[in-house]
Amino acid sequence: NVGDDATDSDADETTGQSPVVILASGENNPTIDAGFYETASLGDFVFEDVDGDGIQDAGEPGVPNVTVNLKDENGNVIASTTTAGDGSYSFDNLVPGDYSVQFVLPGGFEYTDLNEGGDEALDSDA
């Protein structure tokens, strides 16, 4: 219920129910609507960059048990997870918005080069 009655969502975010609408005889109220959004997810893989080139090469292993923090647009940690045995992680059922991801460096490791190569799917983003 934010904004103009003709264009805002009238459904309660928890129950999906609109407020009570009282209609008199012959009255028409064309402003009761509901807006939905599809949840989002983000995640990928934490890898050991064996050759230190900043690119995830074939055969470079994932790093398990790395703490990964999800931050909101103000830099506040809103969720945390740890990488799986293969180095993968995921944050699911997210409200559309602006996020950043923080990778907590495990002992004995250093961050590799950022954004090397031309493939976003294979370079290091931290």
Distance CA 113, CA 126 (A): 8
- Mean pLDDT taken over the chain: 91
Write down the residue that tokens 């990928």 correspond to: 44
* Cα pseudo-dihedral 109, 69, 94, 115, rounded to 10: -40
Q: Tens digits of per-residue pLDDT, 39-97?
A: 999 999 999 999 999 999 999 999 999 999 999 999 999 999 999 999 999 999 999 99
Question: What are the domain boundaries of the chain?
Answer: 1-36, 40-103
Residue 103's pLDDT is what?
97
Distance CA 94, CA 38 (A): 9
Pick among 2.40.110.10, 2.60.40.10, 3.40.50.2000, 3.40.50.1360: CATH of 40-103: 2.60.40.10
Q: Tens digits of per-residue pLDDT, 8-47?
A: 788 888 898 988 999 999 999 998 889 899 999 999 999 9
The count of residues in the chain is 126
